[in-house]
Amino acid sequence: MWLQLLIAAVFIAMVISLAMGAGFLLRDSTSSRRLLTSLKWRVGLACLLMALILFGFWSGRLG
């Protein structure tokens, strides 16, 4: 149960990071680095999400 909640939380964090990145893209100047930081967070969260899903299937807690 805790694994499913953790996966959902990481997915929601990815969606929030995506929305923040879209806002930064539309509002910030060209010299702002916030869009790149948002992308780094999103890539890191995606790697964590894949690792959690693989762990869940490997351990038998998912599926």
> 33-59, pLDDT tens digit by residue?
999 999 999 999 999 999 999 999 999
Q: Is the pLDDT of residue 30 over 90?
A: no
Instruction: Work out the pLDDT band at 28, boundaries 50, 70, 90.
Output: confident
Please tell me the predicted confidence (pLDDT) of residue 63: 80
Q: In the predicted model, what is the mean pLDDT of the chain?
A: 94
d(CA 1, CA 56): 11
Query: Are 7 and 46 spatial neighbours (Cβ–Cβ below 8 Å)?
Result: no
What phi, psi does 31 have (nearest 5°)?
A: -90, 0
Q: Is the pLDDT of residue 20 over 90?
A: yes
Please tell me the predicted confidence (pLDDT) of residue 9: 98
